[in-house]
Structure formats: C-alpha cells, structure tokens
C-alpha cells in the first residue's frame, strides 16, 4: 500500500492536488478533511510564504487562499501566483471577509482583469462564513478538466520496488548498498549509456574518425534519425543541401556538437512525461539541466578552456541521480520534496538527512559505473560542494567543477526551468575569480545562453513555453533594492534573480548608502564569521520625506524559519545565508511594497547593459 506523505492529506487519493492556505488552524483542518473525503489531495500551508513556496514547487491544480481582516496582506499571494509565468495557470479560490479593506479591493480588481486572459487559471471568490456545499461547488469549478491524475497510470511500482523504497529510508543500511539496489532496477531500462560512452571514447581517442563515430551512431536508430534531422536544419544545412548519410551528418555537425546532441537526445528520451511526480515536471527539469550545461560551457569557453563541451555534458548530467528515484518509486520523491519545503533546507540536505546519500552521489555512482570520464563524474559529485571544489588540485578538473557549480546557481537565479528548490548560495570569491566573473554575469551573457537554449530545444522538440531571460533594469537613485556587499564578495546570485523579477537593484560596497526618499529595501551581506554590525539606515534622519526602509541581513543563523509577519513590524529581517530561498525574499518584498514587481516588456531595439555597477 502506498505510504501517506507527511504534510499532504489524502496521500492515497488520485484526485486533483489542492493547496489550502489559511492562518486559521481550525478553518484549515476542517476544510482539509472535507476535501479529502471528496477524493482531493490536499497540501496545507499556514503562512503565505510557505504557500508561495509550495505552490511554486508543486504546481497544484488550485490554491485556496483564506484572507481575513487580520491577514489582509496575504492577498498578495494571489497576485504573485497570477503574475508569475510558472504559476499563472493555477486556479485560485479567494476566501474573503464580507467587508474587505482597500488593499483587498485593489488586488481583487486587478485579479478580475487578469482572469480574462486565456492563458491564466480561473479565479473564484467566496465570503466567509459559507456553507461547505457552496465551497465544494467553487472548488469543482476550478479543477474541472484536470488530467494530471493520469500521470500515475504507468508509474513504476511493484512489490520489489516498494521494498527498495522502504530501505532507502533505513539508516542502518550502507548508502552504497542502497545505490546499488536502485541501479539494479535500471539495468533493463537504461541502455543509453553504452552508445554514448562508446561515442565519447571514439571522440576522445587520437585515432577517432568520422567513420567509426558514424558506425557507432548507426547502431541506435532513434539517435541516427535525430542526428540526421538536426544536421539538415537551416542552421547547419544552409546552401549545402540535404544529406542522408550519418557520416556526412557527423562531418557537418562536428565531433563536439554531435556528442552534445547525442547526450541530450538519449537522456531526455529516458524520462517521458508519465514518469514525474508533482513538483518534478520533466520539461522543467530538462530545461534547467540544459541551461546548466549551456551556462557551464559558456563559462569555460569565455576563459579559454580547451574542451568546454565537457562542461556542457557535466552540466547536463548534474541532476541525473534524481531521475531513478522518481521513475521507479511511487512515493519517495514526493516525500523528499515535502520535507524540503517544510524544513526550508536545500533538497540535497533533505536527501542526506533522510537516505544518507544525495542525488549528486548517486549520479557520480552511476556515471562511474558506466565508465564516464572522471572529470564529468566528479563535477556531478561536487556540484553542491563548494568546499570540496576549492580543494581540487588539478586545475583542468577544478575549472569544470566550478563552472557546473556556478551554472547551477545562475540557472536558478534566472528561472530557466525548475529544480527541487530555489535556494541560492553565496559563490566563493575564489571561484568567481577563476572563472573571471568577479562582478557577476552581464546581460549579454544570458542573452547568448537563451538563444542557444531556444535553438537546442527546437532540435529536441522540447517546448520552452514563454521562457524569457529578462534584461536587467538599471539602478536609479531611488532603486527598490540596495545590496551592500562585504569586501570579499562583489556578487550574489540574488542580484540576478531580483533583476530578472523586475526589481531596480543598486549594488554597493559602501557601509552606508544615501538615505532613501521612498520605500526601499537594503540587503546587507556581511562577511561570514565577522561580527554583525547593524546600521539603522535612515533611523536618525530628521528629514520627513524619508520613507520606510526594510533592512535585511543575510547571516549565519540557527533560526531556520522565516516569519516576515512578525519581523516586518521592526523593519528588520534576518535570513540564513545557508538556506537563502529566493522565493522567501520575493514574498517579503511583495509584502513590504504592497505590490508585485513584474519584469518590463523587452524592447529589442534597446541593447542591454553589460556593466555591473559597483560603487
């Protein structure tokens, strides 16, 4: 029998997934029980920032938002969901008081206009108190035509797999034995590595030639067909006409491009859309993986690395270890995701805590078992371990590991695809220096990546949807957000994330920015290990036009939970640098500004700035 998932009511149900947010425990529990009895799966949240994270990760069919006079600002959750490209298709049910305040009226009016767009989810409203039958009818209207439950129809299972899944959480079993059991399930499923490995061996060999590589590709009809198709696209064919021979295709594409295309095709074909858990959609997973590969490749190419395509392969495969856990076990991945969201910790830490091994270690285990080059296997192993990367003595290996690590952070920051958390880490200065990226990436950097990603996805028939990497908005003297760095750090991925979400960001190394003349957020990143020097910006100013300032300090803290509702009254907030979730920051800014910042439409006639502004 399938195990119920902690935090999700009705874990054995197959109905639509609904996220219920209410700060009122009694209301939350009564509605949850009623919905479960009606065969819905219910995910609970008692704070709006927790609801924002769970909605963003799990993409439920509908979000039910309970807003009262005591928590009226939580209505901004609905606006955030509607204005995010990731969550805009989620339907929303607003539970509101009969006498709404001004903020509620404004947001509801904006949502009503937004709901008329064809590509957004439905919006329903109900006043509290209400009859449950009326409430249930509203929910049914939101979830009709839901086809998501079909995803479990062909899910891997069986008694043997269930037994292995149980043992994954038994900490008395050695991690290597657990990984061996999972890999044994793959023997009859994943035949791809042998074609790819053989092709890589041919390319690496001094004696490698197009004839041998063509023979290797010809053994796999699906890859052969795809390579021919890609070689005949406009970009490659041009005036040279159509070809039908694999050898000619290899010559046209080149060894480097052929290997990259083969790796993408083989891996994506491993994970059809039926193999997915809520919160781990394959399309978004592969967009993220492709983005990490392309960013890592560009980072290496920009510093003159001799084989940047190796960084692409490593970046593409960096999360490979996640796939078998989702493909073959019905409840393992949802349980890990739920624990990650509840604890506000990185996904790999949840894996380590629950199973005593991570997807990075399992990806390294598999690629080592399949005789992949150690450079690629080690980059997979260390893509969450910056300390170990810095200890790597071989420069060639170190640069690839650094590129994959940084690429993973940047792909999250610009929201290309989606992984299992949105925690952004401070990137050590030494790594940024090695990659010649001390002040962070320019807009041109992401434009280049975006163009290549769109092209590659068109080859792979991978829908990019409305994927856009937005041009950074320039800072002004009345910037929304001021970020104060310490002397050893001049870049944090959050800068890219905030600009990509439409905020005006000014970066400075000064201790005291000029006093603001409007609402402003000041984010301070003191040097790790140094005493915290809290400066109350603007508190002593006598100028009456100085408006509210929210001061956020990113520091080491033992307090894992973020309660912006209690801290906002003092306009001071501490966030843990080790569990810094960009979704929590965006939620805090939305609440403080009482509005949702959205990226401006891009003007193709305006070239993006390539300058990073450091005072």
For the segment 271-291, what is each residue's pLDDT rounded down to a tens digit?
665 556 677 888 888 899 999
Instruction: Name which residue leads in pLDDT, 487 or 307.
Output: 307
To which H or E segment does residue 91 belong?
Answer: strand 91-96
Instruction: Name which residue leads in pLDDT, 557 or 296.
Output: 296
Note whether residue 370 is domain-resident. Answer: yes
DSSP state of 64: E
The overall average pLDDT reported for the chain is 79
* Residue 168 CB contacts under 8 Å (≥ 6 apart), including other chains: 178, 182, 325, 329, 332, 354, 355
Note whether residue 154 is domain-resident. Answer: no
**CATH, residue 23:** 3.40.50.2300
Coil, strand, or helix at residue 357? coil
CA distance 327 to 72: 41
Please tell me the predicted confidence (pLDDT) of residue 195: 64
Query: Average pLDDT, stretch 556-582?
Result: 69
Q: What is the DSSP string of 253-297?
A: H-HHHHHHHHHHHHHHHHS-TTS--TT--HHHHHHHHHHHHHHHH
| Among 121-125, 159-163, 205-209, 603-607, the least confident range | 603-607
Does the pLDDT of residue 614 top 50, yes or no?
no
Long-range contacts of 2-5 (CB under 8 A, 24+ apart): 2/330, 2/331, 3/331, 3/335, 5/331, 5/334, 5/335, 5/338
Please tell me the predicted confidence (pLDDT) of residue 545: 45
Please tell me the predicted confidence (pLDDT) of residue 231: 74
Nearest to 78 by CA among 70, 68, 69, 90: 90
Query: Average pLDDT, stretch 576-582?
Result: 90
To which H or E segment does residue 484 belong?
Answer: strand 481-484
Note whether residue 168 is domain-resident. Answer: no
Please tell me the predicted confidence (pLDDT) of residue 427: 92
Nearest to 41 by CA among 7, 16, 62, 66: 16
**For the chain, what percent of residues have pLDDT higher than 70?**
74
| Among 3-12, 38-47, 171-180, 509-518, the least confident range | 3-12
CA distance 472 to 491: 15
Domain count, the chain: 4
Judge if 351 and 427 occupy the same domain.
yes
Query: Average pLDDT, stretch 305-331?
Result: 87
Note whether residue 1 is domain-resident. Answer: no
Does the pLDDT of residue 152 top 60, yes or no?
no
Please tell me the predicted confidence (pLDDT) of residue 371: 77
Judge if 111 and 24 occupy the same domain.
yes
Q: What is the 3-state secondary structure (H, E, C) of 514-547?
A: CCCCCCEEEEECCCCCCCCCCCCCCCCCCCCCCC
Mode of pairing for the β-strands spanning 572-576 and 8-9: unpaired
Query: Average pLDDT, stretch 521-539?
Result: 68
Judge if 451 and 498 occupy the same domain.
no
Query: Average pLDDT, stretch 144-171?
Result: 68
Kindly tell me the burial class for residue 403, based on how many C-beta atoms sit within 10 Å of its own C-beta (0-12, 13-18, 19 or more): buried
| Among 8-12, 203-207, 228-232, 491-495, the least confident range | 8-12
Note whether residue 152 is domain-resident. Answer: no
Coil, strand, or helix at residue 103? helix
Query: Average pLDDT, stretch 464-491?
Result: 70
Give residue 91's Cα distance to chain centre.
21
Does the pLDDT of residue 437 top 80, yes or no?
yes
408 in the Ramachandran plot: left (φ > 0), alpha (ψ -120 to 50) or beta? alpha
Query: Average pLDDT, stretch 44-57?
Result: 91
Judge if 231 and 366 occupy the same domain.
no
Judge if 350 and 427 occupy the same domain.
yes
Model confidence, pTM = 0.83
Instruction: Name which residue leads in pLDDT, 56 or 226.
Output: 56
Please tell me the predicted confidence (pLDDT) of residue 197: 67
HSE-up of residue 329 (Cα within 13 Å, Cβ side): 27
| Beta bridge partner(s), residue 87 | none
Residue 360 · residue 380 · CB < 8 Å: yes
Residue 386 · residue 489 · CB < 8 Å: no
Note whether residue 155 is domain-resident. Answer: no
Judge if 137 and 43 occupy the same domain.
yes
Could you tell me where the DSSP H helices lie in 158-281? 159-168, 175-186, 192-204, 210-218, 221-231, 234-237, 246-253, 255-270
Range of the domain at 421: 278-469
Could you tell me where the DSSP H helices lie in 303-442? 308-317, 322-328, 332-343, 347-355, 359-369, 374-381, 386-391, 395-413, 429-434
Does the pLDDT of residue 387 top 90, yes or no?
yes
The model's confidence at residue 510, banded by pLDDT at 50, 70 and 90, is low
DSSP state of 423: B
CA distance 471 to 608: 6
* Residue 578 CB contacts under 8 Å (≥ 6 apart), including other chains: 425, 556
Please tell me the predicted confidence (pLDDT) of residue 149: 46
Judge if 425 and 506 occupy the same domain.
no
Please tell me the predicted confidence (pLDDT) of residue 237: 59
pLDDT digits (tens, 9 = 90+) for 98-137: 888 888 888 888 777 766 665 677 888 898 888 888 999 9
The model's confidence at residue 203, banded by pLDDT at 50, 70 and 90, is low
Residue 324 · residue 183 · CB < 8 Å: yes
The model's confidence at residue 536, banded by pLDDT at 50, 70 and 90, is very low
Does the pLDDT of residue 487 top 50, yes or no?
yes
| Domain edge (last residue) among 447, 469, 491 | 469
The model's confidence at residue 615, banded by pLDDT at 50, 70 and 90, is very low
Does the pLDDT of residue 444 top 80, yes or no?
yes
Instruction: Name which residue leads in pLDDT, 498 or 111.
Output: 498
Kindly tell me the burial class for residue 342, based on how many C-beta atoms sit within 10 Å of its own C-beta (0-12, 13-18, 19 or more): middle
* Residue 73 CB contacts under 8 Å (≥ 6 apart), including other chains: 48, 103, 591, 594
Does the pLDDT of residue 298 top 90, yes or no?
yes
Judge if 464 and 509 occupy the same domain.
no
Neighbours of 132 (CB within 10 A): 12
Could you tell me where the DSSP H helices lie in 370-510? 374-381, 386-391, 395-413, 429-434, 443-459, 493-500
Note whether residue 174 is domain-resident. Answer: no
Does the pLDDT of residue 528 top 80, yes or no?
no
Note whether residue 606 is domain-resident. Answer: no
The model's confidence at residue 400, banded by pLDDT at 50, 70 and 90, is very high
Instruction: Name which residue leads in pLDDT, 334 or 357.
Output: 357
Judge if 453 and 491 occupy the same domain.
no
Judge if 293 and 225 occupy the same domain.
no
| Domain edge (last residue) among 469, 491, 514 | 469
* Residue 551 CB contacts under 8 Å (≥ 6 apart), including other chains: 521, 522, 524, 534, 536, 537, 571, 572, 573
Does the pLDDT of residue 193 top 70, yes or no?
no
Judge if 454 and 313 occupy the same domain.
yes
Query: Average pLDDT, stretch 501-521?
Result: 75
Q: Tell me the helices (H) and strands (E) count for the chain, helix number first.
A: 27, 11
CA distance 407 to 586: 21
| Domain edge (last residue) among 90, 119, 147 | 147
Query: Average pLDDT, stretch 154-175?
Result: 81
Judge if 30 and 107 occupy the same domain.
yes
Does the pLDDT of residue 336 top 90, yes or no?
yes
**CATH, residue 424:** 1.10.3210.10
CA distance 386 to 258: 31
């Amino acid at each position: 029998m399938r195990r119920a998932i902690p935090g999700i009511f009705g874990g054995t149900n197959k109905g639509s997934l609904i996220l219920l947010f209410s700060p009122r425990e009694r209301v939350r529990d009564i509605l949850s029980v009623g919905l479960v009895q009606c065969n819905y799966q219910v995910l609970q949240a008692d704070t709006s920032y927790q609801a924002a994270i769970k909605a963003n990760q799990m993409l439920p069919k509908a979000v039910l938002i309970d807003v009262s006079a005591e928590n009226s600002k939580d209505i901004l959750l609905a606006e955030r969901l509607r204005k995010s490209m990731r969550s805009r298709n989620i339907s929303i049910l607003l539970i509101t008081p009969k006498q709404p305040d001004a903020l509620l009226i404004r947001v509801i009016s904006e949502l009503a206009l937004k709901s008329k767009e064809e590509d957004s989810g439905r919006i329903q409203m109900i006043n509290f108190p209400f009859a449950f039958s009326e409430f249930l009818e509203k929910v049914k209207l939101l979830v009709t035509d839901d086809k998501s439950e079909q995803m479990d129809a062909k899910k891997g299972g069986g008694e043997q797999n269930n037994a292995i899944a149980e043992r994954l959480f038994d900490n008395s079993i050695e991690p290597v034995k657990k990984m061996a059991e999972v890999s044994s399930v793959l023997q009859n499923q994943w035949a791809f590595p042998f074609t790819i490995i053989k092709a890589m061996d041919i390319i690496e060999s001094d004696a490698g030639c197009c004839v041998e590589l063509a023979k290797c590709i010809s053994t796999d009809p699906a890859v052969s067909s795809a390579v021919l198709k890609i070689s005949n696209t406009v970009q490659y064919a041009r005036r040279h006409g159509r070809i039908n021979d694999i050898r000619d295709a290899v010559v046209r594409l080149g060894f480097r491009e052929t290997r990259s295309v083969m790796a993408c095709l083989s891996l994506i074909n491993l994970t059809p859309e039926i193999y997915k858990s809520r919160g781990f959609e394959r399309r978004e997973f592969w967009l993220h993986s492709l983005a990490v590969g392309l960013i890592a490749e560009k980072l290496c190419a920009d510093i003159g690395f001799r084989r940047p395509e190796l960084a692409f392969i490593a970046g593409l495969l960096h999360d490979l270890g996640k796939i078998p856990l989702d493909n073959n076990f019905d409840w393992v991945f949802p349980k890990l995701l739920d624990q990650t969201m509840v604890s506000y910790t990185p996904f790999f830490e949840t894996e380590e805590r629950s199973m005593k091994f991570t997807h990075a270690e399992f990806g390294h285990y598999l690629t080592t078992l399949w005789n992949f080059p150690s450079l690629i296997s080690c980059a997979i192993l260390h893509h969450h371990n910056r300390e170990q990367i810095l200890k790597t003595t071989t420069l060639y290996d170190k640069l690839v590991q650094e590129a994959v690590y940084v690429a993973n952070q940047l792909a999250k920051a610009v929201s290309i695809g989606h992984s299992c958390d949105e925690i952004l880490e401070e990137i050590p200065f030494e790594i940024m220096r090695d990659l010649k990226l001390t002040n962070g990436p320019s807009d041109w950097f992401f434009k280049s990546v975006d163009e290549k990603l769109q092209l590659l996805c068109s080859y792979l028939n991978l829908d990019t949807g409305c994927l856009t990497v937005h041009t950074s908005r320039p800072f002004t003297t009345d910037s929304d957000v001021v970020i104060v760095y310490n002397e050893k750090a001049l870049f944090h991925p959050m800068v890219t994330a905030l600009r990509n979400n439409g905020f005006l960001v000014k970066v400075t190394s000064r201790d005291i920015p000029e006093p603001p003349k409007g609402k402003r957020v000041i984010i301070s990143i003191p040097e790790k290990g140094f005493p915290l020097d809290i400066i109350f910006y603007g508190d002593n100013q006598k100028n009456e036009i100085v408006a509210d300032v929210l001061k956020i300090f990113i520091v080491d803290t033992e307090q894992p939970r973020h309660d912006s509702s209690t801290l906002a009254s003092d306009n001071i907030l501490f966030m843990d640098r080790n569990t810094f979730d960009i979704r929590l920051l965006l939620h805090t800014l939305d609440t403080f500004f009482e509005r949702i910042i959205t990226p401006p439409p891009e003007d193709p006639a305006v070239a993006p700035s390539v300058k990073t502004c450091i005072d």
